[in-house]
Structure formats: structure tokens, C-alpha cells
Structure 1
Amino acid sequence: MLEDTILENETRDADIQWNRIVELEIAPHPKVQYPETIELDYGMTSGVLQVNVRAAMAGYMLRHWNVDCSKGHKHDGNEMQLCLRNPAALYGVQNALMAPGYDAESWK
């Protein structure tokens, strides 16, 4: 055990990114040939999967799932089968740049 005391700003309660929950709307990529298959695979409702994730994990999750977060979903549908419908949800998420194609400047 550490002998030092934990400072208030080092506690879990002080970690804003960990405590913030971001609601992401994931949809089939517009360039994918069979979007209905993607909807079934992910259990989407009306073509959208609502995912609640901690802000601290959002960029990692979007990269792991290979979700196209670019404006206009410019990536190839064969490369990425999912896209982010609400990129504004990533505003203030510190690791958002890890998300494939995400560029905060292009969404202003």
C-alpha cells in the first residue's frame, strides 16, 4: 500500500472524462452493400444502435469497432461497415481523435 494520501484531483470522482457518459448513435455505413445485414448483426432498432459509453473510452471503442466518424462518411464501406450518426456527441471527449476519420475542425 502506498503511504501517500490521494489528492482530491486524483480521485475517480474528479475524473470528468470517466464520469461523463456519451450516447453514440451507430448506424450501417452508407456505402455498405447490405445495410439490413449490419442492422441484424448489431441488433439495431430503426437502423440505429444507441451505445452509452464513458467519454474516457469513446475513442477506443469507436476505433475497436472500426466506426467511420468522418464528415460525409468518406471511408469505404468495405473497409468500415459502421458510421457515427451524431459526431457532436464527441464534443469535449479528449480521446475523440482516436476515432477513425474524426476531425473536430471539420464538424464546426
Structure 2
Amino acid sequence: MERKRDTLFVSVNGGFNLHPEPAFYDLPCEPAPCLLRSRTQADRQRTTIAGNINEALDLWRNDIAFAPVKEGDAIAFINAGGYGSFMSSNHCMRGDFSEIAI
């Protein structure tokens, strides 16, 4: 996590090279924290979820109410869709990845 001015950024280990629809088509992606500890609605804070590609368009979700997370916590992208792996690329030489479909 990093705060820059009034924005709290949470970085994830995956960028638009894995799933470009939010970056290129402005399709919303719903991140959800996978937490073992309960958090209340009051715990939520305005957060921007950023990918690991150092480019301005690598944002999974911008300025959402999000439960506080810590380094090592998992975040699920609920509606990532079925085209993720088919549209992926090796942009910035990030390499292969695995995909879990439920």
C-alpha cells in the first residue's frame, strides 16, 4: 500500500497484461478482499487498486470503498470474465501466469 496525496493505492501482483479489459475498454472489474478476519462497513476506505505494470492505465479499479488490506492478503477479481487469459500478453516481459476459474 502507498498513499500519494489523497489517494491510497493498493498494488497487486498482476497488471493489464493479464486482463486488459479494464484498461483498454473501461469495463469495471470488481475486486473483493479475501479476508479471514471480519471488517465492518466503517473500516472501508477510499482505495485505488493498481497493477504491477508501471503505466498510467494499469488500474484495476479507481477510488472505491475497500476494506483495509495488508501485504500478503489476497484480492479476488469477481467479474474478470472468460477472455482474460486469451487476451493476455507478455507485455513488459512479466511472463506466464495461472488462472483459476470458479
Give the TM-score band, short-chain normalised.
0.3 to 0.5
Structure having the larger proportion of residues in strand: 2
Q: Name whichever structure is richer in helix by fraction.
A: 1
Decide which structure has the larger Cα Rg and report it. Answer: 1
Higher relative contact order (CA 8 A, sep 6+): 2
TM-score normalised per structure 1: 0.31
